[in-house]
Amino acid sequence: VLSPVGKRRARVALFTGCVADAMFGPTNWATARVLQHNGCEVVVPRNQVCCGAIHYHSGAGEPALQLAQQNATAFNIDDVDAIIINVAGCGSMLKDYGHVAHELAPADDATRQRLDKFAHKIKDVSEFLMSLGPIQPTGEIKLRATYHDACHLCHAQKIREQPRDLLSLVPGLELVPLAESEICCGAAGSYNLTQPEMAAQLGRRKLENILKTNAQAVITGNAGCSLQLQMQLRQSGHDIWVAHPMDVLDLSYRQQQPACLR
């Protein structure tokens, strides 16, 4: 359990994910610290597992349902105000657990009710913080950045303004519009594995729009998008920081600068 900074305003559980935990561990820690700075007591259940999105999207319904049930058991949903997610793809799947149960276990009332209840506790971190009322960060970060809308955040969850609103609080941060920000970057879950040519085309299109902004950083709320953008930037020889909104907020709260400005 991570204690809040100042008066406790909420008690939340953090879903760390599998890809995020393995490849974006610092962002998970940044998310926890941002929540703490905003008066949240943060619980990180040890027995949580993969959200099951890749299984479900590939037609492996039974393993996806088993993972959903494991997560519903791992989180004491009656003990927290929300279950926080910082990966758009996972968040979309977790919010859809009720539908998954209705589809795959239609006769199991107990499972359907439990997964419905679990799904209603899921909140993207930007969605939750804007609802809670964010504490103003004070550390100045003089950075020109742009924001890419992850499909699973802006289309699946209808979350567009909250990440931008949070970033607008950071002193010194210049957030410039990105053309076609809502168009897929080509990651799309497993799409870049099953349709690599089309994924690469989408990635190059996204890269071209990013470069036109002259941004020093591109910010997005999904691990898959971050990996895709990092690959496109690396292959084209451009040194642009790919960050999560929580990475930026965390630095501002802690009065620190990103590596690209040091």
- C-beta separation of 86 from 27 below 8 A: yes
CB 72 within 8 A of CB 100: no
The three-class DSSP label of residue 144 is strand
115 CB contacts (<8 Å, ≥6 apart)? 68, 69, 72, 97, 98, 100, 101
Rounded Cα–Cα distance for residues 147 and 122 (Å): 23
Which backbone phi and psi does 256 adopt, to 5 degrees?
-120, 165
Question: Who wins on pLDDT, 195 or 73?
Answer: 73
Specify the residue for token string 């590596």. 259
Cα end-to-end distance, the chain, whole Å: 32
Tens-place pLDDT, residues 186-227: 987 777 777 778 888 999 999 999 999 999 999 999 999 999
pLDDT for residue 195: 79
Give pLDDT tens digits for 109-150: 999 999 999 999 999 999 999 999 999 999 999 999 999 999
**What mean pLDDT comes out for the span 5-26?**
95
pLDDT surpassing 90 at residue 257: yes
Q: For residues 112 and 101, is the Cβ–Cβ distance under 8 A?
A: yes
Element (H, E) at 97: helix 97-104
pTM of full prediction above 0.75: yes
pLDDT on residue 197: 85
Closest CA to 15 of 104, 116, 87, 96: 87
Identify the pLDDT of residue 204: 94
**Is the model's pLDDT at 179 over the cut of 90?**
yes
Give me the percent of the chain exceeding a pLDDT of 70: 98
> All domains of the chain, ordered by start, with CATH?
10-130 (no CATH), 136-261 (3.40.50.1860)
What would the mean pLDDT of 69-94 be, rounded to a whole number?
97
Q: What is the pLDDT of residue 222?
A: 96
**pLDDT for the residue numbered 194:** 75
pLDDT at 199: 87
The DSSP secondary structure of 49-91, one letter per residue, reads ----HHHHHTT-HHHHHHHHHHHHHHS-GGG-SEEEE--HHHH
Contact predicate 88/124, CB 8 Å:
yes
In what order do the strands lie in the sheet containing 241-243?
173-176, 143-147, 217-219, 241-243
